[in-house]
Structures are given as C-alpha cells and as structure tokens.
Amino acid sequence: MGKVWFVGAGPGAVDMITVRGRELLARAGAILYAGSLVSPRHLDFAPEGCVCADSSAMTLDEMVAWLVEQAGRHTTVIRLQTGDPSLYGALPEMVRPLTRAGVQVEVVAGVPSFAAAAAAAMESLTLPESVQTVILTRAPGRTPMPDGERLRELARHGTTLCLHLSITLWPVIREELFAAGWPASAPVVVVGKATWPQEERIVRGALADIEEACRQADVRSQAMILLGPALGACQVDAAPHSRLYAPEFGHGFRSSRET
C-alpha cells in the first residue's frame, strides 16, 4: 500500500508551490487535483504515465475510493488542492477513511491565500502599536458559523480580518461589521485570484463602496477580503516602526546603541 500526500498547491501561480510539493509531483504515480481551483499546469511536473484525475465532479466518497485504489497501485499518490490543506479544506473527513483503509497519509503545507493576497497588494497584516492579531474567518453562507464565531463578534476586536469564501456576501459583511462598530469609511482590499498570471485583480476601497468596485473589476470568485487598521501602512510615512530594528533595541545579534 502506497502513501497519500495531501499537497497544498498554493494560491494559484504554478511557481508558488513549495519545492517539496513539486518534488512529490515529480515522482507521483497518481494525482487527484482540484480542477476547479488548481491550475492544470501543475500536472506538467508529473512524470510520464502518471494517472491524473480532476476531482471537481466527485463526491467525498468517490475521492476517497479513488485515492485508496491508486494507493494500492502506486507508492506515491497526491491529493493536490488549492492554498494550504489546513484551511477550509476537507482534510479531516478524507484522512479518517484513508487511515481506516490502512493507507499512510502525510500533509505538505502550501502558501495560504491570505498571505499571497497580502503580498500581491503589498500590505502588512500587522503593524506595531496598531494591530498584532490576524483573524482568518469567513462570512456565514451555506455553512453556518459556530457559536461565538459570528463575524460581528470577531470584528469587535478591531484587528485585521482576512475573509475567505465571502466575496458574494457583501450585504452580510457590511451588516456584521457595521454592527461591530466599523465605519463605512473603513479601508478594504480585495485580491481576486492572487498570483494567477493575467487574472490577478487588486481592488481597493471603503466598506461602503467596495462591492461596486469589485463588480466593476469583475472580481466575483476566488477572492480574499482584507480589512483592518494596518491596511495602507506602506504608503504612510507616519506609520509606527517596529522596535526590533530601533538602534536602542539590543538583542543576541546586535548591541543597543544610544541615540
């Protein structure tokens, strides 16, 4: 019985996959990839004769059955999915039946979409003396939010919010953030298809008008929404500086210097 590797393909661009992930693809006997989200160009790394299947039209049971079957034939089987396997994926419900079937499983991290979006927009998600906490969450849709994780409750912290899977839920987002005390002028950055060649879109605006800006930019899916007080700091000279690099801040690699 071979091993199934859950590999994060990263946010989109083929060269954003990790070196470990690319090396695994290069020796894979079979690859099950999320064709609706992962670029098929990732399959160019696969060796000749590798069995490749698109999971877009499969149910969970069908995907697990495919992986078990291929693990009985090949040493290395890849489940290739977008972003990082630990975020908004089906990792637990796929690992459990594979383990019961006697299949070894290992996970390879991928570049998460929130990090890729921040990089594309040249934004820092944290800022000294302003915000030191990042909340990864989503607006409630077909999947309800657990108790205590309602968006307005999280937004009341006033920290950076990275909203996954929420680009079609602007009325809900506005209602929840307004209820949390956020002003209509709160800055918002939306990055559609971060790192995808010729498809990446970066939209900036305020909470009150960002929906229309996204519509005009045709950002309708696969988008990350960034909100919070750190946005725009790269363009503000008066933004606070990290104390780590201050002359008077000494540490194990540099002595403090009087100013």
* CA separation for the pair 31, 52 (Å, rounded): 5
Rounded alpha-carbon distances, angstroms, from residue 70 to 65, 106, 162: 9, 15, 36
* CA separation for the pair 82, 86 (Å, rounded): 11
Write phi, then psi, for 170 (nearest 5 degrees).
-60, -40
Fold match, 3-108 / 113-234: no
Confidence of residue 141 (pLDDT cuts 50, 70, 90): confident
Q: C-alpha dihedral over 38, 137, 221, 224, to 10 degrees?
A: -80
Q: Is the pLDDT of residue 258 over 70?
A: no
Q: Are 200 and 218 in contact (CB under 8 A)?
A: no
SS3 content of the chain, % helix, strand, coil (to 5): 30, 20, 50
Q: pLDDT at position 55, please?
A: 97
Q: Is the pLDDT of residue 31 over 70?
A: yes
- Yes or no: domain 3-108 corresponds to CATH 3.40.1010.10: yes
Could you tell me the sign of the dihedral formed by the alpha carbons of 174, 177, 179, 183, in that order? negative
Mean of per-residue pLDDT scores for the chain: 93
Q: pLDDT at position 66, please?
A: 98
Sequence ranges of the domains in the chain: 3-108, 113-234
Q: Is the pLDDT of residue 149 over 60?
A: yes
**Concatenated DSSP letters of 19-86:** HHHHHHHHT-SEEEE-TTTS-GGGGGGSPTT-EEEE-TT--HHHHHHHHHHHHTT-SEEEEEESB-TT
Our separate counts of H helices and E strands in the chain read 7, 10
Mean pLDDT of 91-99: 97
CATH number of 113-234: 3.30.950.10
Q: pLDDT at position 240, please?
A: 64
**Per-residue pLDDT tens over the stretch 110-136:** 999 999 999 999 999 999 888 999 999
Rounded alpha-carbon distances, angstroms, from residue 232 to 47, 186, 259: 44, 11, 29
Mean pLDDT of 187-207: 97
Q: Is the pLDDT of residue 233 over 90?
A: no
Q: pLDDT at position 129, please?
A: 85
